[in-house]
Structure 1
Amino acid sequence: MTTRTVEANGFRFAVDEAGEGDRLALCLHGFPESRFSWRHQLPLLADLGYRAWAPDLRGYGDTEPKPQDVASYRIERLLEDVAALIDASGAREVTLLAHDWGALVAWTFATQKVRLLERLVIMNVPHPAVFGAVIKRSAAQRRRSWYVGFFQIPWLPERMMTAGRARAIRRAFHGMAIDKSRFPPAVLDHYAANALKPGAMRAMINWYRAAVRYRLQDRDWPKITTPTLIVWGEEDAALGLETLDGTDAYVENLTIRRLPGVSHWVQQEAPEQVNAILREWLVGPR
């Protein structure tokens, strides 16, 4: 596995890469993660014949620059980044794998058919239309999503998330994880250091501000025809299992694999199980 810089859409994306060839597996991370979150999957994807890329997304990690304005993180800009990375790869086939915020981008990318996708893999984030319906009727989900409202406050969330050497970032992983051994100090140090980079914490939180300000969910959601796999850790503290219900109304060819006893950080906490699911599904019939 190597790290390279890919210039795309005006950014210098830091990209971890494994494998070679013209079949791209593009892995999109979530909040408050980085390309490092796919460290267990890149070797598998390379073994399956993909050129696997895991970039630090806009505003994160070693990708530069880090815009500080909210508008730079509206969904249209994030879709442009994914399209530009795909174009820069020169791949003839693309499989998109995504977790958390990366998965929200991936859902939208597949719905709008920004680029042709061979397959779509979503981890622990519901389809935006389903989530929008659930949060309107479910007080429990609104309580789980309290932090989205908190992140709309100017400057205070950045201050609190970075206080004490980014203590809240460390707690987000270690506190939510079921198998805490998967998040030893070295892993927590990595994510804390990323959050403490100049401008990074504001950029990361601006993803949430842009989603609310520009009303991400208020759009049409035509049915996705790309074969789609959802991998879901059932012990997700932020998203209830009810946010999976009704996904088939928006996805024509859908497979769901649920992992009991696994938290929101599914591909990091249960890499052996996740990789077995990926191996079976990615090599199977389309």
Structure 2
Amino acid sequence: MEGIEHKTVSVNGINMHIAEMAQGPVILFLHGFPELWYSWRHQILYMAARGYRAVAPDLRGYGDTTGAPTSFVSYTTLHVVGDIVALLDAVAPEQDKVFVVGHDWGAIIAWYLCLYRPDRVKALVNMSVVFTRRNPMMKPLESLRAFYGDDYYICRFQEPGEIEAEFAQIGTKRVVGKFLTYRNAGPLYLPKGKGFGDSPNTPIILPSWLSEDVDYYVSKYEKNGFTGGLNYYRALNLNWELTAPWTRVQVTVPVKFIVGDQDLTYNAPGTKDYIHKGGFKKDVPFLQEVVVMEGVAHFIHEEKPDKVNKHIYDFIHKFSTSGCSVS
């Protein structure tokens, strides 16, 4: 990772750590859970070598970003998008619009960035998590509990301190390893007191693409804990309340979407139909490409970096060279 520079930028009341490389049109990389800026290292090097300025922050509550309140009420999409807009103003004031690449929660934040501030985004490459239109009739947590039950991982994340205590018993390294190696296309359940449902002595077999990474993530989560990342899940219902003005608003930037066919998000009930039968295109009218990668699970940009890098570059390059835009 030689050549990647690190700095801290004061934005929106917090101190945001960013990793960046090279100069040129900015590509902003937004990570998910339980990731950090580090999950984009392959993409940073690849895009920087092709004339782009790659910028990857540790989002609010993660890694070496500090100063965020501990309560989940400060982790809504409005807060996090506010951080991002302030970051862009600070690091690239001369660029009115930037390219954005998101994964997992980073993809969710990217969708909301495009809803709130489409004037700041040239084009978006999003991975794993599709756009979710707001259902004005039901809050998201009530919907998840009704469908999956109380042991579903997002439901288990809700009570502050509870899952953190269980993770402490399991051990940070095992928790990180279990999340990053999850390849079951079905939903993830975390029954109370039963961890990931296996013996704590069962070894975790790390794939080659992950073997060098776990220690970096563990070093940050052992220092800071998981609460910052979990707070994004805890703000789901609050997001629903605050985003009522955006009900039925479309995402109006050019989009490419990439997902693995073994990703639990792709296999969630209704998602394939939404992607392939017109719903996605209706909500995201400038959706230009959907790529489903065979045999790939959730952490797609780490598992298959070469293919993902090319997909990102091929899409973004169209807007860099021609200056084309959607009108």
Task: Give the Cα–Cα distance (whole angstroms) in 1 for the partners of residues 6 and 56 of structure 2.
Answer: 9
1:40 to 1:161, Cα distance in 2 relative to 1, 3 A: same
Alignment match, 1:76: 78
CA RMSD of aligned residues (A): 2.8
Q: 1:262 aligns with which of 296, 304, 316?
A: 296
Task: Give the Cα–Cα distance (whole angstroms) in 1 for the partners of residues 301 and 134 of structure 2.
Answer: 22
Alignment match, 1:172: 179
Q: 2:223 aligns with which of 197, 206, 211?
A: 197
| Structure 1 gap segments, 5+ residues each | none
Q: How does 1:6-45 map to 2 (within 5 A)?
A: 6-21=9-24, 23-45=25-47
Give the C-alpha shift of residue 223 in structure 1: 1.9
Task: Give the Cα–Cα distance (whole angstroms) in 2 for the partners of residues 91 and 39 of structure 1.
Answer: 25
Asked if residue 48 in structure 1 is aligned to residue 50 in structure 2, the reply is: yes
Alignment match, 2:166: 160
Q: 1:252 aligns with which of 275, 285, 291?
A: 285
Give the C-alpha shift of residue 284 in structure 1: 2.3
Letter in 2 for 1:249: K
Give the C-alpha shift of residue 174 in structure 1: 2.1
Give the C-alpha shift of residue 47 in structure 1: 2.5
Instruction: Classify the secondary structure of the residue corresponding to 2:99.
Output: strand
Give the C-alpha shift of residue 112 in structure 1: 2.1
Instruction: Classify the secondary structure of the residue corresponding to 1:170.
Output: helix
Letter in 1 for 2:8: T
Greater displacement, 209-218 / 52-61: 209-218
Give the C-alpha shift of residue 126 in structure 1: 1.1
Question: Do 2:9 and 2:17's aligned partners in 1 also have CA atoms closer than 8 Å?
Answer: yes
Instruction: Classify the secondary structure of the residue corresponding to 1:96.
Output: strand
Superimposed CA distance per residue, residues 149-196 of structure 1 (whole angstroms, 9 cap, x where no aligned partner): 111123111112233431222211123389822111x31122222222
Asked if residue 282 in structure 1 is aligned to residue 313 in structure 2, the reply is: no
Instruction: Classify the secondary structure of the residue corresponding to 1:196.
Output: helix
Task: Give the Cα–Cα distance (whole angstroms) in 2 for the partners of residues 131 and 258 of structure 1.
Answer: 26
Asked if residue 107 in structure 1 is aligned to residue 143 in structure 2, the reply is: no
Consecutive aligned runs of 4 or more in structure 1 exceeding 4 Å deviation:
130-133, 135-141, 216-219
Alignment match, 2:191: none
Task: Give the Cα–Cα distance (whole angstroms) in 2 for the partners of residues 224 and 213 of structure 1.
Answer: 21
Superimposed CA distance per residue, residues 2-29 of structure 1 (whole angstroms, 9 cap, x where no aligned partner): 11112211222111111113x2111000
Letter in 2 for 1:87: D
Question: Do 2:134 and 2:248's aligned partners in 1 also have CA atoms closer than 8 Å?
Answer: no
Question: Do 2:118 and 2:252's aligned partners in 1 also have CA atoms closer than 8 Å?
Answer: no
Q: How does 1:130-169 map to 2 (within 5 A)?
A: 142=148, 146-166=152-172, 167-169=174-176
TM-score by length of 2: 0.78
Alignment match, 1:227: 254
Give the C-alpha shift of residue 85 in structure 1: 0.9
Alignment match, 2:5: 2
Letter in 1 for 2:181: H
Greater displacement, 249-258 / 114-123: 114-123
Give the C-alpha shift of residue 131 in structure 1: 9.3
Give the number of the structure whose residues are more often helix, by fraction: 1
Greater displacement, 30-39 / 151-160: 151-160
Percent identical among aligned pairs is 29
| Structure 2 gap segments, 5+ residues each | 186-205
TM-score by length of 1: 0.88
Question: Do 2:144 and 2:155's aligned partners in 1 also have CA atoms closer than 8 Å?
Answer: no
1:137 to 1:203, Cα distance in 2 relative to 1, 3 A: closer
Alignment match, 2:305: 271
Give the C-alpha shift of residue 103 in structure 1: 0.8
Question: Do 1:30 and 1:101's aligned partners in 2 also have CA atoms closer than 8 Å?
Answer: yes
Matched residue count: 282
Letter in 2 for 1:169: V
Superimposed CA distance per residue, residues 214-272 of structure 1 (whole angstroms, 9 cap, x where no aligned partner): 42675414222211011111111244264252210111221111101001101011101
Task: Give the Cα–Cα distance (whole angstroms) in 1 for the partners of residues 236 and 50 of structure 2.
Answer: 35
